[in-house]
């Protein structure tokens, strides 16, 4: 027998020992397996000194580890295997019928065995007729919550837990094992429990509305990864999405917006939607059956424009408004009158009837205080309360509602801005400005959830590939960025860590117009989130995760989830070649893994295609097709296909654009006429993509050779400001700033970064319909090697200009 130990002191390498050696080693150094390996001493993983994976068997290798995700807390492989039968009898012990149905549903798959209920007498099978047995034990205070034991032998599978949640997670793990393409499962013992209590995803249904089926699809996918909190962002400036029967105008008015170009044809059609209370009850019950708690969010005192549009008397501005048709930070705040608190409490009363969640999220973020400063009634309230400033008033506002929630046996949670005026005693904090807010709250004895935008905002772009099939915000937040984040920051004390409930990934939907695009942005980054939330930190190894992830991506795809493969997909970089008539092609992928195979004749590569090793020298006119494969020969991503044109090496696209000096690239959006509202509900808009700096129309190109250059061919498209401006109002005018302000309006100028005040070329921007591509040829006078700036002066009422490509013409 061979033993493979992976422990905290040496988890960067595998060490092989004979069984005799292992016994001698244990006698001298007192090797300790994870406490969950010992039923008599079960403690939470966070308090253990050693977390271990133990594998025993004649041919124990890294490849023998089943592709489970998240990786269990402890797993032992032993000799033998279970051959997955065509029909698998299932027995249960102390499991309610409704729970049994969910367990069977969790295990069902098109490629798995047929599951049939069997009498308890069939609990012990034989190699010819293996069985699956679920056993719910009595509650045990010493057993970690949500834990389970799973044993696979040649005669069947047994899953044991002390709570129904643990039994469900055992079924989730077994479902992954049953998906084995070899139709076998190695004999093993898993003892598992989560690292963190809060393992969440936030879905924004205000900016773009997802159907109830979209939400259920998200819930299913979360359940398959042992994620357990769906934070549902239901109200904001752009839409109120929850039916409140006492206040029907919230959905009659607040759920719909009417931007001039909101419809696919710019026809001003209403856009929006809302969830009825019956739909919400059904979704909540659906989530509860999969052990997912839905935490509703009703944002206040800011992000309230849709509510104020429906009921102007609750606002602070003194004038009516409409549901916002643009993104950004808006000034509309609830006022602080008693009648407004009555309104909010009445709304919350109906919310509490729909959502049994202990936590209720009340936002608290980005509340601009101008209206409060100019409101006589708000200022009078401040004087009466004796509060020092508007930030302290927000603290009072939040605490008043927190006290009301506490009187109804609920707990308030809000974004970390609620720290500014002094943290209300009843509040918990969700930290999106890095981790400091969560740590500060935890140090003060408050519970906190980690949700930093720098690591866990899934509306940021996953890769910088031109072929990335969904828009999003800059900067890039890769799969590795998510996986490398530790929700329990190193150096924090156990006292602080006990108040960090967990971690959450956020899906804001300014630029995701369909349920499919939301899912595409979430997965597989949600798989990385699941592992950092569930698996002990010493066992979180990037190479191991990459090895197991493709199987999980295939499982999600089989369930209809449009999983992004950009981390594995091949990226092409074309540069000039020293060989006349040739272009140098460099192939890579973001994850830096897999075997890249390619063809140059337009056919799709297979295992016989050439293996990429060094940059290629290819002639113009051929079609490069490249696919990454794993060691077993399974493709890791869809093909990358590109026609090699003569000017490809001189073309710059979104993947190579950088921000102009003093600027900031904001978003990349699809350049289709229906980019705001797709023609079909589940459409993911195709390329080409446009790169936009929302503060002024400008992109820069890194240093490039201009020797022999006569002009630049610039492809760009005028885009609507709908969901684009950082300002509040569609009539907003952005001031002309920078060197470009000296040029006539509607002019595109080219400069260099070393002489930014000197225009080396310019061309007029034709005034045409939104969404119509523009192709400009801009003669330039500079030679040499320069970084280029392409920009246009701002003028009132103009559209955005999204840049698609810039090609050097020699």
Per-residue pLDDT at 703 exceeds 50:
yes
Nearest to 171 by CA among 67, 263, 247, 99: 99
Q: How many CA atoms lie within 13 A of 152 on its CB side?
A: 24
Given a contact cutoff of 8 angstroms between Cβ atoms, the answer to whether 793 and 765 are in contact is no
pLDDT of residue 700: 94
Radius of gyration (C-alpha) of the chain in whole angstroms: 29
Per-residue pLDDT at 266 exceeds 60:
no
Q: What angle do CA 638, 642, 644 make, to 5 degrees?
A: 160
Which has more confidence, 1 or 91? 91
Nearest to 215 by CA among 272, 275, 149: 275
For the domain spanning 651-809, the CATH number is 2.60.120.260
Please report which confidence band the pLDDT of residue 466 belongs to, taking 50, 70 and 90 as the band edges: confident
Please report which confidence band the pLDDT of residue 689 belongs to, taking 50, 70 and 90 as the band edges: confident
Nearest to 325 by CA among 736, 732, 788: 732
- Tokens describing residue 166: 């643990």
Q: Report, as an integer, the average pLDDT of 441-455.
A: 96
Per-residue pLDDT at 789 exceeds 90:
yes
Can you give the residue ranges of every domain in the chain? 2-192, 234-261+302-421, 571-643, 651-809
Lowest mean pLDDT segment, chosen from 125-134, 291-300, 380-389, 736-745: 736-745
In whole angstroms, what is the distance from residue 84 CA to residue 76 CA?
19
**Fold agreement between 2-192 and 234-261+302-421:** no
Mean pLDDT for the chain? 85
pLDDT of residue 123: 54
Which residue in the list 236, 243, 299, 399 is annotated as catalytic? 236
Given a contact cutoff of 8 angstroms between Cβ atoms, the answer to whether 35 and 42 are in contact is yes
- Tokens describing residue 432: 């999106």
In whole angstroms, what is the distance from residue 523 CA to residue 512 CA?
14
Which has more confidence, 553 or 269? 553
Per-residue pLDDT at 737 exceeds 70:
no
pLDDT of residue 259: 65
Peptide bond into 624 cis (omega under 30): no
Please report which confidence band the pLDDT of residue 99 belongs to, taking 50, 70 and 90 as the band edges: very high
**SS3 state of residue 249:** helix
pLDDT of residue 159: 98
Per-residue pLDDT at 268 exceeds 80:
no
Per-residue pLDDT at 710 exceeds 80:
yes
Which residue in the list 34, 81, 133, 303 is annotated as catalytic? 303
Q: Report, as an integer, the average pLDDT of 553-578.
A: 94
Is residue 366 among the annotated active site residues?
A: yes
Is residue 303 among the annotated active site residues?
A: yes
Q: What angle do CA 105, 106, 109 make, to 5 degrees?
A: 80
In whole angstroms, what is the distance from residue 383 CA to residue 401 CA?
20
pLDDT of residue 32: 30
Q: Which residues contact 471 (CB under 8 A, 6 or more apart)?
A: 511, 512, 517, 667, 668, 669, 670, 675, 685, 689
Distances (CA, A) of 269 to 134, 258, 265, 459, 681: 53, 6, 9, 26, 16
Strand-pairing partners, residue 198, are: 502
Please report which confidence band the pLDDT of residue 685 belongs to, taking 50, 70 and 90 as the band edges: very low
The answer to whether the predicted template modeling score (pTM) of the entire model surpasses 0.85 is yes
Say which CATH topology domain 234-261+302-421 has. TIM Barrel (3.20.20)
pLDDT of residue 170: 98
| CB-CB neighbours of 317 under 10 Å | 18
pLDDT of residue 157: 97
Distances (CA, A) of 29 to 24, 25, 42, 396, 458: 9, 6, 22, 57, 45
Is residue 108 among the annotated active site residues?
A: no
Burial 768-800 (b: 16+ CB within 10 A, else e): eeebeebebebebebeeebbbbbbbbbeeebbb
Beta 131-136 vs 87-93: how paired, if at all?
A: parallel
pLDDT of residue 21: 35
Orientation angle between helical segments 390-407 and 338-354, nearest 10 degrees: 40
Per-residue pLDDT at 53 exceeds 80:
no
Alpha-carbon torsion angle 237, 239, 244, 248, nearest 10? 100
For 78, the enclosing helix (H) or strand (E) is strand 74-83
Per-residue pLDDT at 192 exceeds 60:
yes
Which residue in the list 337, 350, 366, 389 is annotated as catalytic? 366
Which has more confidence, 762 or 512? 762
Peptide bond into 725 cis (omega under 30): no
pLDDT of residue 688: 66
Which has more confidence, 754 or 166? 166
Strand-pairing partners, residue 716, are: 774, 803
Per-residue pLDDT at 707 exceeds 90:
no
Q: Report, as an integer, the average pLDDT of 108-131.
A: 78
DSSP sequence for 531-570: HHHHS-GGG--HHHHHHHHHHHHHHHHHTT-----TTTS-
Q: What CATH architecture does domain 2-192 belong to?
A: 2-Layer Sandwich (3.30)
Please report which confidence band the pLDDT of residue 721 belongs to, taking 50, 70 and 90 as the band edges: low
Please report which confidence band the pLDDT of residue 36 belongs to, taking 50, 70 and 90 as the band edges: very low
Q: Report, as an integer, the average pLDDT of 89-113.
A: 92
């Amino acid at each position: 027998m061979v033993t493979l130990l992976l422990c905290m002191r040496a988890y960067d390498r595998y060490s092989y020992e004979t069984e005799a050696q292992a016994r001698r080693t244990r006698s001298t150094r007192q090797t300790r397996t994870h406490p969950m390996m010992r039923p008599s001493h079960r403690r939470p993983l966070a308090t253990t000194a050693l977390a271990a994976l133990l594998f025993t068997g004649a041919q124990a290798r890294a490849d023998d580890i089943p592709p489970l995700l998240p990786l269990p807390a402890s797993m032992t492989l032993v000799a033998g295997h279970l051959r997955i039968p065509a029909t698998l009898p299932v027995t249960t012990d102390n499991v309610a019928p409704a729970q049994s149905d969910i367990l069977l549903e969790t295990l069902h798959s098109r490629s798995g065995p047929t599951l049939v209920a069997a009498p308890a007498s069939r609990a012990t099978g034989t190699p010819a007729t293996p069985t699956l047995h679920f056993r719910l034990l009595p509650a045990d205070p010493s057993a970690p919550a949500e834990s389970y034991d799973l044993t696979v032998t040649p005669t069947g599978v047994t899953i044991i837990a002390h709570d129904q949640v643990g039994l469900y997670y055992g079924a989730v793990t077994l479902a992954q094992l049953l998906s084995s393409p070899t139709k076998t499962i190695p004999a093993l013992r898993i003892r598992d429990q989560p690292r963190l209590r809060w393992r969440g995803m936030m879905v924004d249904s205000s900016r773009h509305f997802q159907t109830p089926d979209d939400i259920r699809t998200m819930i299913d996918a979360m359940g398959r990864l042992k994620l357990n909190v769906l934070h549902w962002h239901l109200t904001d400036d752009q839409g109120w999405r929850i039916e409140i029967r006492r206040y029907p105008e919230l959905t009659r008015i607040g759920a719909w917006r009417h931007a001039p170009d909101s419809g696919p044809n710019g026809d001003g059609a209403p856009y929006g939607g809302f969830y009825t209370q019956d739909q919400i009850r059904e979704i909540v019950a659906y989530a509860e059956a999969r052990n997912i708690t839905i935490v509703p969010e009703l944002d206040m005192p800011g992000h309230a424009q849709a509510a104020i549009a429906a009921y102007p008397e609750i606002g602070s501005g003194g004038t009516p408004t409409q549901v916002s048709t643009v993104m950004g930070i808006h000034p509309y705040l609830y006022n602080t009158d008693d009648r407004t608190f009555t309104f909010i409490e009445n709304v919350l009363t109906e919310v509490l009837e729909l959502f049994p969640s202990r936590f209720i999220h009340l936002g608290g973020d980005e509340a601009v205080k101008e209206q409060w400063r100019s409101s006589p009634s708000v200022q009078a309230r401040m004087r009466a309360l004796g509060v020092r400033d508007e930030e302290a008033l927000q603290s009072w506002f939040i605490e008043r509602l927190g006290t009301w929630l506490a009187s109804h046996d609920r707990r308030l949670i809000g974004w970390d801005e609620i720290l500014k005026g002094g943290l209300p005693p009843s509040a918990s904090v969700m930290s999106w400005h890095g981790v400091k807010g969560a740590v500060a709250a935890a140090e003060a004895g408050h519970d906190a959830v980690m949700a930093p935008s720098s690591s866990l905002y899934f509306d940021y772009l996953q890769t910088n590939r031109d072929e990335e099939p969904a828009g999003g915000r800059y900067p890039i937040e890769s799969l590795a960025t998510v996986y490398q984040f530790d929700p329990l920051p190193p150096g924090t004390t156990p006292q602080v860590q006990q108040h960090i409930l967990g971690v959450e990934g956020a899906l804001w939907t300014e630029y995701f117009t369909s349920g499919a695009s939301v899912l595409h942005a979430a997965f597989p980054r949600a798989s990385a989130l699941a592992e950092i939330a569930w698996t002990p930190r010493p066992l979180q190894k990037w190479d191991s995760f990459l090895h197991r992830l493709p199987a999980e991506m295939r499982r999600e795809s089989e369930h209809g989830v449009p999983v992004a493969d950009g981390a594995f997909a091949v990226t092409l970089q074309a540069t000039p070649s020293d060989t006349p008539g040739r272009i140098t092609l460099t192939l890579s992928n973001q994850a830096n893994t897999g075997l890249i195979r390619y063809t140059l004749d337009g056919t799709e590569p297979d295992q016989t295609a050439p293996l990429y090793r060094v940059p290629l020298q290819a002639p113009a006119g051929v079609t490069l097709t490249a696919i990454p494969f794993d060691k077993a020969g399974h493709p890791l991503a869809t093909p990358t296909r590109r026609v090699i044109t003569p000017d490809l090496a001189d073309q710059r696209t979104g993947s190579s654009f950088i921000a102009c000096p003093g600027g900031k690239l904001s978003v990349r959006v699809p350049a289709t006429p229906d980019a705001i509202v797709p023609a079909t509900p589940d459409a993911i808009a195709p390329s080409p993509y446009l790169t936009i700096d929302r503060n002024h129309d400008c992109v820069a190109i890194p240093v490039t050779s201009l020797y022999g250059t006569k002009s630049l061919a610039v492809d760009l498209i005028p885009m609507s400001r709908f969901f684009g401006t950082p300002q509040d109002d569609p009539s907003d005018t952005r001031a002309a700033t920078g060197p470009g302000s000296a040029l006539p309006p509607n002019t595109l100028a080219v400069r260099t970064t070393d002489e930014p005040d000197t225009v080396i070329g310019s061309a007029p921007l034709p005034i045409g319909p939104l969404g119509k591509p523009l192709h400009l040829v801009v003669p330039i006078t500079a030679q040499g090697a320069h970084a280029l700036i392409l920009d246009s002066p701002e003028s009132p009422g103009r559209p955005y200009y999204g840049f698609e490509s810039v090609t050097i013409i020699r």
